[in-house]
Amino acid sequence: MKRVQFVVSDEMNHTAASIYGSEFCPNHPTYKVISWCSTHEISICMVCFKLDHAKCKGVEPLEEAIKNINSKVELKSLRQRVEETRNIFKRLVKDRNHNIDALENQKDVLKADVKTFKERIYQHLERLEYRLEKEIDLALDRHKHKLEDQIFEYNQRDGTLASLYNDLIHINEDSTENHTILFLKEANVVQRKEEEFLKGDVGSLKNINLQLKMDETVRKVVDVPTIANVKMVESYPTNPPDLQALSKDDKQTESMLIKVEESVKEYNMDKFKFVFERDIDIKPTFSTNALIPEVTGGMILPDGRLFVVDKVNKRLLGYTAKGQLAKETFMEYEPYAMTYLDVNRFYLTVPSQQCIEIRDYGALQFSERIDIKHHVSGISSYEDTIAVVCENFGIALLDQTGTMVNKIPMKGNKEGPLHLLGKTICYAESKKGTVHVLSVSGEVKFTTTVKGLGYVQGIAVLRDSSILVSRSSPGNKVTWHFSPDGHQQALREEFESFKSPRSIVYDKKLKKLFVANGVRTISIFREL
């Protein structure tokens, strides 16, 4: 039997290969499959065995693997299970769409409640009302994107099962051919994986409500930091999900409650000396290979040009001030971060090679190499000093020739972003979320931990020595602003619309802030 390509749906624009069993190896088409590897649950040929499966304990001849399988019984059972699983995905898609509609309707009701409450608080409530409405919109937007992602995944999985089911209904129930039995074995693996996927809470229907609970203790409006809590409430009818019941169109009782709470806080603009205003959003174009960059570093030049480090795809990208792709260079190894050297060149860290490369802006080509002999990551330069993070070593301070002039030892430190401004170094350990603020002499000013889950993606020291830090993970994507002494912190409302703030680069001379917002947008802010 031939392996074919099929289209799941026009809306998804997605293709996948049929998994119908074949007598010939998909990796080595001139060889027939002769064995079944239970370790990896796949049929293999003699070449596969020699290259990849010689050490697997569960390899047995194909005849032994399929001799006890009743194809008629297996086919009937598999058809029924696939159909039931497809029904589950269809119900989940319908349910998530209903969730979105319900949230949209509730949003308008909640905003009306906010306006009614406003009449009790006089003029200062106008500012609080603005922030509360914005929080409601953001809470809805964040959860809506999560639901849409789930819908997309469910449709993809259902599409795979649709192809499988189409193959199943065309099989002769009385067939005893080896390739038919082999297909049933392989298809059973696919079906079982989908069933395991649905065993978590993902396989349950749920109710979601956007709630607004007013704080009745409001007295002195000027001093109140919070006037309400916006809550996203998810309730699941069953836990763990009853897959058999879920595949049928019946009602289930609520048995689990999950709450996601986000507080609406009054932001005191006098805490810090200045704010940022969004100047421009640039949606960079991509080359024809359609690789979307995962930004871990970037830079702004005085003429407005942008340069981006794409770690995952091992690329350096150069853009015009309008976001047009001007240059793209692929590297052999993953880069991490870049920083300014002079009008013609920049520094680039390459962690696996334990070095800093010097490259030019025009062609992004390599010209020199500075060996560090440590796993390097974040890098920043200020005037004639370069600071670079060295894992399990600390922070190395170099001059422009690459000679180490000082080192700040830090036991067991890990990779992460770094920014040097004046005499202040700010460095974050990405996975731990720990922020270190210290002087170039090594004196520790303060150490703190950024709230939430996920990795710290970006960090920047601002003109007044306050610190911006972004920590990004699903459901927890925020940019925190720390005071110079680390005792105060607040969410920056300029960045609240960001879905996934990543690299942050601040240029004191240009008075501009570069923020990679997810993988598709670069936002430039100007200092007010």
pLDDT tens track for 62-71: 888 877 777 7
* 231 neighbors 261 (Cβ within 8 angstroms): yes
**Structure tokens belonging to residue 217:** 């203790």
Residue ranges of E strands in 253-375: 256-265, 276-282, 295-300, 306-310, 315-319, 325-330, 338-340, 345-350, 355-360, 366-371
DSSP state string for 417-479: -EEEETTEEEEEETTTTEEEEEETT--EEEEEE-SSSSEEEEEEE-TTS-EEEEEEETTEEEE
From the number of C-beta atoms within 10 Å of its C-beta (0-12, 13-18, 19+), residue 234 rates as: middle
Tokens of 164: 């499988």
Question: Which residues sit opposite 232 in a β-bridge?
Answer: 210, 260
Q: Does residue 47 sit in helix, strand or coil? A: helix
- Return the closest-CA partner of residue 44 out of 60, 57, 55, 64: 60
* Sign of the alpha-carbon torsion through 524, 525, 527, 528: positive
The strand pairing partners of 514, in sequence order, are 505, 524
Check: CB of residue 131 under 8 Å from CB of residue 493. Answer: yes
pLDDT given at position 146: 78
Confidence of residue 375 (pLDDT cuts 50, 70, 90): very high
Q: Provide the terminal-to-terminal Cα distance of the chain, rounded to the nearest Å.
A: 67
pTM score of the predicted model: 0.49
CATH class name, domain 276-527: mainly beta
15-24, 112-121, 376-385: which has the minimum mean pLDDT? 15-24
CB atoms within 10 A of CB 128: 23
Q: Which tens digit of pLDDT belongs to each residue from 132-185? A: 777 777 777 777 877 887 888 888 888 889 988 888 888 888 888 888 888 888
Distance, CA of 315 to CA of 294 (rounded, Å): 10
Provide CB contacts within 8 A for 192, sequence distance 6+: none
Query: Running DSSP on this structure, what letter comes out for residue 78?
Result: H
**8 A C-beta contact, residue 498 and residue 479:** yes
Distance between CA atoms of residues 351 and 169, nearest Å: 53
- Say how far apart CA 45 and CA 47 lie, in whole Å: 5
Percent of the chain scoring above 90 in pLDDT: 16
Q: Which two tokens stand for residue 458?
A: 């970006």
201 has pLDDT over 60: no
Q: Which residue has the higher pLDDT, 233 or 121?
A: 233
What value does the mean pLDDT take over residues 40-56?
90
Question: In the prediction, which pLDDT does 18 show?
Answer: 37
Least confident of 56-70, 212-226, 252-266, 316-330: 252-266
Name the 3-class secondary structure at 306: strand
Cα–Cα distance, 309 to 511 (Å, whole number): 22
Spatial contact of 307 and 346, defined as CB atoms under 8 Å apart: yes
**404-432 as b/e, with b when 16 or more CB fall inside 10 Å?**
eeeebebeebbbbbbbbbeebbbbbbbee
Query: What is the helix, strand, coil percentage profile of the chain, to 5?
Result: 25, 35, 40
469 falls in which pLDDT band (50, 70, 90)? confident
5-44 tens-digit pLDDT: 333 333 333 323 333 567 889 889 889 999 989 888 889 9
DSSP summary character for residue 291:
P
pLDDT at 386 over 90: yes
Q: What is the mean pLDDT of the chain?
A: 77
- Show Cβ contacts of residue 325 under 8 Å, excluding neighbours closer than 6 positions: 284, 285, 286, 287, 317, 318, 319
pLDDT in tens, 436-460: 999 998 899 889 888 766 788 888 8
Q: Which candidate, 427, 508, 522, places its Cα nearest to that of 467?
A: 427
Identify whether the C-beta of residue 359 lies closer than 8 Å to the C-beta of residue 348. yes
Nearest Cα neighbor of 478 from 492, 465, 464 is 492
- Distance (Å, whole) CA 425 – CA 90: 53
